[in-house]
Amino acid sequence: MNHQSVVVLDFGGQYNQLIARRVRECGVYCELLPYDTDVEKLKEKNLIGIILTGGPNSVTEEGAPMLDKKVLSLGVPVLGICYGCQLLAYMHGGEVTCGAREYGKRRLLVGKGGKLTKGLPKESVCWMSHTYFVGKTPEGCTVTASTETCPTAAYENEKERYYAVQFHPEVMHTEYGTKVLENFLYGICGAKGDWTMKNFAEQTVAALKEKLGDKKVLCALSGGVDSAVAAALVHKACPNLICVFVDHGLLRKNEAEEVERVFRDEQGMNLIKADASEIFLEKLKGVTDPETKRRIIGEEFIRVFEREAKKIGKVDYLVQGTIYPDVIESGKGKSAVIKSHHNVGALPDVVDFKEIVEPLRDLFKDEVRACGFEIGLPKSIVMRQPFPGPGLAIRIIGDVTREKLDILKEADYIFREEIARADLDGKIWQYFAVLTGNRSVGVMGDERTYDYTLALRGVTSVDGMTADWARIPYDVLETVSNRIVNEVGHINRIVYDITGKPPATIEWE
């Protein structure tokens, strides 16, 4: 693709992926690469700027990661953030000093004349996280901002085209962080803003057309966002795409029907649905251990897919929904990644294919969603909340039966409906019901009951690694509770899970 690109060189800071995401939000394509990436590799890109990230080291300590000097002669502007800011000073003969620790929100005081700080008010809030700072800037630099404890919160060398901020413009708490990034990209690097999902979708479809032609292509649809968008993109480029959807019967109410409706009826895809719910239920009979459930479902999924793939025979390409964070996490973009999601990870072993095609490997999750909308997929698919591969089997504590599945599907559906009605569906990361193995005494009418306890779980999160329990308003919870006990049989007690992760996990199993 011929779009402009900015490379973020990674020195190990915790916000580095975020920098790349923010740059892309500004409409400029951006990649995160290791700090010691070969200069020749950088030359291959349509490079307009380089960003050096923060990191845990101090530039003055032995073994601290350094930048190859040749990077500074590539002829494009360089922005240093935090460690990157100190590194630029150090490399140009400035001094880096160990000073007062600054962590969190600080008052940023901006002076006149900076290109990077252009348009910022005299005073605003920035986010700092450092112990060292630039004590003396290199010759030819102008200091353009400070805080009470850091005299060099921003400096720049207009002649040599390097720019630096000690604070973190990528962090939400930095009030004018986006403005600083825009100044760098548009005011300094000459960005055109050519990274849009419309461009991406058009160029990807064109490239896929060329690559795939009328070859035979296979894709496993799971109902999840990534495989859905990947399949829909490939479908626009290739007439011979076959999608296989294994319905293990453990999806939420209406989800399997939705997959068929959208992909077969609306998108006109060649979709093969393997209805395997009976097989999965049979295999899961009497199994109570969560990890055993996961293993059985994972293995059975592969077996069902294998049977379908055998019927199809040899294909040329297998589509995978790998996305950019997967690429970064597993080898810093060096090798093709096969997603380790339980239900697609082992597919390459059982399919007879020539090559893997990964149309989303350059996209962050929010871009995958934007791309999904761009190519006409509905909200129900594009904004689908994360859902575990083993499905409702790990939301039923104890053994899985058809009866329990039916109860859980109905209860979960009511919860989802009410969350959407309260306009909370876009604000909560995941919300679902769990059929606990607990039974307790209740009273309904004049009858004593001894029925299931249902747990409701709602969490906010950024990446699923940590989470907080969602503060769902009491009146919404009350409506959900009333509806469930009235409309679904065999539930006489409902509890709301108020634990974060850690110490709990998001799922109950």
Q: Does 501 bind ligand XMP (CB under 6 A)?
A: yes
454 to 402, 439, 487, 490: CA distances (angstroms): 16, 9, 14, 10
Structure tokens at 414: 């009511």
Catalytic: which of 130, 168, 235, 248? Answer: 168
d(CA 127, CA 168): 6
Q: Considering only residues 438-497, where is the footprint of ligand XMP by CB under 6 A?
A: 464
Q: Which stretch binds ligand XMP (CB under 6 A): 85-93, 103-111, 253-261, 385-393?
A: 385-393
Kindly indicate which of the ranges 24-32, 384-392, 396-404, 412-420 contains the residues binding ligand XMP, using the contact rule CB under 6 A. Answer: 384-392
Bridge partners (DSSP) listed for residue 377 = none
x/- site string to ligand XMP, residues 168 to 187, per CB under 6 A?
--------------------
Six-digit token string for 73: 């002669």
Query: Is 170 tagged catalytic?
Result: yes
Give 92 or 501: the residue with its C-beta nearer to ligand XMP.
501
Give the Cα separation of 333 and 336 in Å (integer).
8
**92 belongs to the catalytic site:** no
DSSP conformational letter for 467: B
Residues 6+ apart with CB under 8 A from 408: 392, 395, 396, 433, 434, 435, 454
127, 105 contact by CB (below 8 A): yes
* Least spacing, CB of residue 432 vs ligand XMP, in Å: 8
Among 119, 121, 386, 489, binds ligand XMP (CB under 6 A): 386
C-beta of residue 468 within 8 angstroms of C-beta of residue 410: no
Token pair 């590539």 is found at 74
Taking CB under 6 A as the rule, does residue 507 contact ligand XMP?
A: yes
416 touches ligand XMP by CB under 6 A? no
Catalytic residue among 82, 85, 126, 189: 82
CB closer to ligand XMP out of 60 and 466:
466
Of 138, 117, 249, 127, nearest to 188 by C-alpha is 117
DSSP state for residue 59 in the 8-state scheme: T
- Which one from 170, 308, 418, 509 is the annotated catalytic residue? 170
Decide whether 166 or 430 has the Cβ nearer to ligand XMP. 430
- For residues 276 and 303, what is the distance between their CA atoms, to the nearest angstrom? 11
Residue 106 touching ligand XMP (CB under 6 A) = no
Write down the least CB distance from residue 388 to ligand XMP, Å. 3
Q: Which two tokens stand for residue 101?
A: 């620790």
Work out how close the CB of 418 gets to ligand XMP at its nearest, in angstroms, rounded to a whole number. 20
C-alpha to C-alpha distance for 259 and 265, rounded to whole angstroms:
9
Reduced to 3 states, what is the DSSP secondary structure of residue 181? Answer: helix
Shorter beta-carbon distance to ligand XMP: residue 359 or 390: 390
Residues 342-361 that bind ligand XMP (CB under 6 A): 342
Q: Which residues pair with 142 in a beta bridge?
A: 156
User: What would the DSSP string read from start to end of 130-144?
Assistant: EEEEEEEPPTT-EEE
Quick check: helix, strand or coil at residue 245? strand
Binding segment for ligand XMP (CB under 6 A), chosen from 63-71, 147-155, 258-266, 387-395, is 387-395
By CB under 6 A, is residue 293 in contact with ligand XMP?
no
151 counts as binding ligand XMP under rule CB under 6 A = no
505 touching ligand XMP, by CB under 6 A: yes
Token readout for 98 is 């160990």
Q: Give me the least distance between CB of 386 and ligand XMP, in Å please.
A: 4
Residue 365 lies near ligand XMP (rule: CB under 6 A)? no
Task: Give the pairing of strands 29-34 and 5-10.
Answer: parallel
Residue of the chain from 388, 414, 469, 484 that contacts ligand XMP (CB under 6 A): 388
Token couple for 412: 């979960």
* Residue 227: half-sphere exposure toward Cβ, Cα within 13 Å: 26
Q: How many Å apart are CA 309 and CA 26, to the nearest integer?
A: 42
CB of 263 to ligand XMP, least distance (A): 20
Provide, rounded to whole angstroms, the least separation between the CB of residue 505 and ligand XMP: 3
Q: For this structure, is 168 an active site residue?
A: yes
Q: Taking the CB of residue 465, how many other CB atoms lie within 10 A of it?
A: 9
Omega prior to 151 cis, within 30 of 0: no
Binding range to ligand XMP, per CB under 6 A, among 157-165, 177-185, 206-214, 498-506:
498-506
Binding-site member from 13, 321, 389, 458 for ligand XMP (CB under 6 A)? 389
Nearest approach, Cβ of residue 459 and ligand XMP (Å): 9
Site string for ligand XMP, 422-441 (x = CB under 6 A): --------x-----------
Among 273, 294, 365, 439, binds ligand XMP (CB under 6 A): 294
Coil, helix or strand at residue 242: strand
CB of 22 to ligand XMP, least distance (A): 24
Q: Restricting to residues 233-272, which ones interact with ligand XMP according to CB under 6 A?
A: none
Minimum CB separation from ligand XMP for residue 504, in Å?
A: 8
Render 414-440 in DSSP notation, one character per residue: HHHHHHHHTT-TTT-SEEEEEEEEEEE
The beta strand positions in 141-298, using DSSP E, are: 142-146, 154-157, 162-165, 217-221, 241-247, 270-275
In the complex, the residues that contact ligand XMP under the rule CB under 6 A are: 294, 341-342, 386, 388-390, 430, 464, 501, 505-507
Active site residues: 82, 168, 170
